[in-house]
Amino acid sequence: MNKKSAKVCICHIDHEHDRVYTENVSEYLARKDIPTLVIKLADGGAQSILRQCFDDSVAFILGFNAALDHSWLASDRFLDVAERYGIPVVQWILDHPSARWAEFHASTATNSRFLLNSAQQQRYFETYCLPGALTAVTGGVGPNRRSRIDGLSFGTFMQRTISCLVPLSLQRIRSVEQSEAAIAALDRPLGAVARDAVARARHDLFGTLHSHVAGSLAASGQAVSPEMFDTLCQVVEEAVQTLRRLRIFSVAKNFPALIQSDDSAAAFAQGSAATFASNVGMQATLERMPHCRAVLSVSPMNDMIHDRTMNALNAGCLAIAEDNAVNRDVFTHGENALLFRYDDDSLEECLDILCGQPERAYKIAQAGMCLRDDPRIRFGQFRNIVDLARRGRECGL
């Protein structure tokens, strides 16, 4: 295969998030002079459009979550066909593997490679999901061009009409009620394990989620199957994220913030000072960021900078983020970002600085914006997307 003509097939379902992530990957590959073929999939089932993936110029195929796992060509699973053709298939699991792995049915260590957003997720996947699989870390999904501005001044910063944007869904993979029901449905000893793990993990911004589940199991003297361990990690992760987001809403609603979430958050997020907007899409949020002085966000993993924080830097916003392991490595509190925890008043202090000290807030935002082209921010570890496809097989790039 001529390396100059080799291209990457990026396959996605017709979902706004997947379209944005496709844009981010395509931008990175274009900078590496690697052309892309973008294929929009139907929602599972037979996908005749995927025959384009077997053109001689295709180096490898990239898909998000289980979209390719659920796809067929005639009577054959797509992953099996790709393996027969010798074309590497890379599947990017966008959430914690405990929340997604049960959706995969056709994927094996030979017909797929797997991208995870963080090293913690990678270790979890290799241990509890598919040992022996080829994996790599991307460092997140990266910032998007829609949020990027040309320049920033104190005047334009103060003219922004939104003081602080808080774009956090409360209902993620499952609703709050469904998450609570999942814990209640566990056998009583395991329900106690899950609640103990939630208590251990809710304020921990440095350790791994599954270490808390393992610690709670050990303390109770129980052993479980890998499948049940996966279930416990999923319900614990969902509960921890719910508690953290409710804590943020309880504070942010007392400040002139715009809280964006789903309808289930309305009762918790509406306050005397804040305004609430429901079900705002990702693209609209990205385009709104240049009109905000600050963006407050969280990450489901302690070792991953969330793309909302990356996009905040892109837009010249003051980034307000968790005081977790990776943010401490990249940011300095009070210099180029504001960092908060969940077990003290640090979030209130961050919002006080934003609202009460505008010149200081601007200087922090300006310093943060200088980081937006830092390799850890701009494309994270996207190089691993291509490197993973190359491993163990010639892919033409």
Is a pLDDT exceeding 80 seen at residue 24? yes
Is a pLDDT exceeding 60 seen at residue 160? yes
The per-residue pLDDT for range 77-127, each reduced to its tens digit, is 999 999 999 999 999 999 999 989 999 999 999 999 999 999 999 999 999
Asked if 55 and 159 sit in the same domain, the reply is no
Q: Which residue in this structure is represented by tokens 């104190």?
A: 154
Going by C-alpha positions, the residue among 396, 397, 392 that lies closest to residue 112 is 392
Query: Per the structure block, which two tokens stand in for 241?
Result: 């994220």
The per-residue pLDDT for range 257-310, each reduced to its tens digit, is 999 999 999 999 877 799 999 999 999 999 999 999 999 999 999 999 999 999
Model pLDDT, residue 395: 61
Asked if 169 and 315 sit in the same domain, the reply is yes
Query: Per the structure block, which two tokens stand in for 323?
Result: 């005081």
Going by C-alpha positions, the residue among 195, 184, 244, 183 that lies closest to residue 220 is 195
Asked if 306 and 360 sit in the same domain, the reply is yes
Under the banding of pLDDT at 50, 70 and 90, the label for residue 74 is confident
Under the banding of pLDDT at 50, 70 and 90, the label for residue 2 is low
Model pLDDT, residue 43: 75
Higher pLDDT, 299 or 394: 299
Q: Say if 178 falls within a structural domain.
A: no
Model pLDDT, residue 288: 97
Q: Say if 397 falls within a structural domain.
A: no
The per-residue pLDDT for range 332-387, each reduced to its tens digit, is 999 999 999 999 999 999 999 999 999 999 999 999 999 999 988 988 899 999 99
Asked if 96 and 115 sit in the same domain, the reply is yes
Asked if 14 and 123 sit in the same domain, the reply is yes
> Percent of the chain beyond pLDDT 90?
86
Neighbouring-strand partners of residue 241? none
Asked if 227 and 287 sit in the same domain, the reply is no
Model pLDDT, residue 173: 66
Higher pLDDT, 18 or 271: 18
The per-residue pLDDT for range 186-209, each reduced to its tens digit, is 998 999 999 999 999 999 999 999
Name the 3-class secondary structure at 5: coil
Q: Say if 60 falls within a structural domain.
A: yes
Higher pLDDT, 246 or 270: 246
Model pLDDT, residue 76: 93
Average pLDDT, the chain: 93
CA 41 to chain centre: 21
Asked if 115 and 169 sit in the same domain, the reply is no
Model pLDDT, residue 112: 97
In angstroms, the CA 286 to CA 135 distance is 29
Instruction: Supply the CATH number for residue 363's domain.
Output: 3.40.50.2000
Q: Say if 396 falls within a structural domain.
A: no
Is a pLDDT exceeding 70 seen at residue 393? no
Query: Per the structure block, which two tokens stand in for 229?
Result: 């361990």
**Mean pLDDT, rounded, for 238-249:** 94
Instruction: Supply the CATH number for residue 19's domain.
Output: 3.40.50.2300
Strands (E), 20-67: 36-41, 45-46, 58-64
Asked if 260 and 208 sit in the same domain, the reply is no
The residue from 202, 221, 240 where one domain ends is: 240
In angstroms, the CA 266 to CA 253 distance is 11
Model pLDDT, residue 8: 97
Asked if 208 and 233 sit in the same domain, the reply is yes
Cβ atoms 346, 106 nearer than 8 A: no
**Mean pLDDT, rounded, for 123-138:** 96
Which range of residues forms the domain containing residue 193? 183-240
The per-residue pLDDT for range 314-327, each reduced to its tens digit, is 999 999 999 999 99
Q: Find the DSSP H helices in 104-153.
A: 119-124
Asked if 112 and 204 sit in the same domain, the reply is no
Q: Say if 66 falls within a structural domain.
A: yes
Helix axes of 346-356 and 226-252: crossing angle, nearest 10 degrees: 40
* Number of domains forming the structure of the chain: 3
Strands (E), 208-315: 257-261, 275-278, 292-296
Asked if 293 and 169 sit in the same domain, the reply is yes
Asked if 21 and 133 sit in the same domain, the reply is yes
Element (H, E) at 113: strand 113-116
**Mean pLDDT, rounded, for 226-237:** 92
Q: Say if 1 falls within a structural domain.
A: no
Helix-, strand-, coil-residue percentages of the chain, each rounded to 5: 45, 20, 35
Q: Say if 64 falls within a structural domain.
A: yes
Query: DSSP readout, 319-346?
Result: EEEE--HHHHHH--BTTTBEEE-SSSSH
